[in-house]
Chains A and B, each alone.
Chain A
Amino acid sequence: MPIIETKDLTHVYLAGTSYEKKALDKVSLSINQGEFVGIIGGNGSGKSTLIQHFNGLLVPTSGSVRVDGKDTTVKQYRKNLWKKVGIVFQFPEQQIFKSTVFEEVAYGLKNMGMHLPEIKNRVEEILVQIGLNPGEVAHRSPLSLSGGTRRQVAIASIMAMRPAVLVLDEPTAGLDSSGSNHIMQAIQEMQRNYHTTVVMISHYVSQLMLLADKLVFLEQGRLLACGNQEEVFQYITSHNLGGLILPDYLRLMHHLADYGYQVNTGVSSLEEAAREIGRILKESFLCKV
């Protein structure tokens, strides 16, 4: 059974006013337990609106969203959905408000009604997992940390709750590679250890390519492609859509395929692409001879 399932999900902001805007248009998709799903699409394509339906922050204007089999329009269910689906918003470091890192990470756990000894364990564990030294940072003020570390703390505060579904909206945007590596590793580790379902929005398609089991491509609120990476990339290049979001070498491979060359479009790195191109060149040279 899929853990998240949307059916003809449509969301209209400010309905009935002159600022009315349709952010999502009949989006139907399903996400299975334990999957890593990447959501890609340009600015204003409805990605952020979509994920806010997953923990009941938004309810559909029409259509339905089911989480773990239950409809999110039921208020009583929606109220406690945050324990099951954790959302990390864009630039989560801006939402920090407690005076120490420990309290910040413990905030969600306290709201879950956990006891202090357990909270301590969880906080320590998650800080280590996300690449920080608990003894060093736990009692410092978050404001005294660098932007990247603050981001790690904010993400840890959601991950500490061990939600069944972890949703992240561009968790690594604007971070240096060491910060973003720590975060990505922690996410993977959590997925492995707790069979967590991960939904991640990212502009770095190359990052998603390594991890995602499934990709979802949105444009102007519509779900245009959904499936494994090759299918989605094939769709994007053949329709000349959102070309910029794909790595250059991948676009090249798809274009070569469009011209009739027998290339492998499933390459996942620049080196592999180079090898493929070398192979084609060799073959076409041999043909001529």
Chain B
Amino acid sequence: MQGMITGQYINGDSMIHRLDPRTKLLGCFAVIIAAVWPGQQIPVLLLNTGFIILIIYLSQVGVVRVLRGLRTLRMLFLLTFVCQVFLTPGDSLWNWGGIAVSRQGIYLGITTFLRLVILYIGSSLLTMTTSTLKLTEGLESLLSPLNYLRFPVHQLAMIINISLRFVPTIIEEAEIIIRAQKSRGARFDSGPLALRLKTVLALLIPLLAVSLQRATDLALAMESRCYTGDQSYIREGSMVFTWKDGIALGILVTLLLVPVWVRLY
């Protein structure tokens, strides 16, 4: 593989890696809720961002790498910022013939930017420190109450697990196909748009064919090892929720609730 995607699992043994996956899932969920909660103030969002960066530092996956990953989203950041700044009505600061910039717009632009940053680095942190296997194991365990409603939790977890597992494989495959088509003169990165769209077909069709073939093979291989879709297999090493997880969740909840408490009183 040529490049590496931010968010890809990085093997490690930091205290964040060792936490129970359920803790990390709940924590990530809480952070996301806090980030999208309406009416968040800039200092609170800054505090949360700082907190996540601190955890990234503790998890030893490389703060710089995660922050560099933000660059891939720069167009999104720019677009939302510009939209918020120009399209929010309020006390105008500047006004050039109909195009107005309002104080509220700038404020909203900055908070939206921070929210997006939190969403991105928060979820990257989760996937960078938790292997897909652990992640789905945690998810399955957290969703297990839904079993009583006859919701196929185990199958859902298996679907998620398999899809995540094959993301790197498919990326690798796509790269090989791109190179093979380039060797026949396909131009993926230059030429007129219509031609480039046509060229994308040269990637998509073989990629889809290979993926379907692989899905069939995998299903057969699973069936021939007696997989039936029931939760009838034994896992290697189950999850243990320790006091460390309690402390981690405690710190997180306190941090997220303090601003609420401060605002109320």
Q: Which residues of A contact B (CB under 8 A)?
A: 13-14, 17-19, 52, 55, 57, 79, 82-83, 86-87, 89, 92, 94-97, 107-108, 111-112, 143, 157-158, 161
Contacts and interface: CB of A to CB of B under 8 A. Distances in A.
A142 to B, nearest CB: 10
A96 B205 CA distance: 8
Nearest to A83: B185
A89 B180 contact: yes
A107 B179 contact: no
Given A13-B1, A14-B1, A97 B205 contact: yes
Interface residues of B, number: 25
Given A19-B4, A92-B180, A97 B185 contact: no
Contacts of A13: 1-2
10 closest residue pairs by CB, A with B: A111-B185, A108-B184, A97-B205, A95-B180, A87-B183, A89-B180, A57-B179, A97-B206, A97-B202, A95-B206
Given A18-B10, A18-B11, A161 B184 contact: yes
B176 interface: yes
A57 B4 contact: no
A231 to B, nearest CB: 31
B177 interface: yes
Contacts, number: 60
B167 to A, nearest CB: 15
Interface of B: 1-4, 10-11, 65, 176-177, 179-187, 190, 201-202, 205-206, 209-210
A107 B184 contact: yes
Contacts of A95: 177, 180-181, 206
Contact of B182 (A18, A57, A94): A57
A19 B12 CA distance: 12
13 contacts: A14-B1, A14-B3, A57-B179, A82-B185, A87-B179, A87-B183, A89-B179, A89-B183, A94-B206, A94-B209, A107-B186, A111-B184, A158-B184
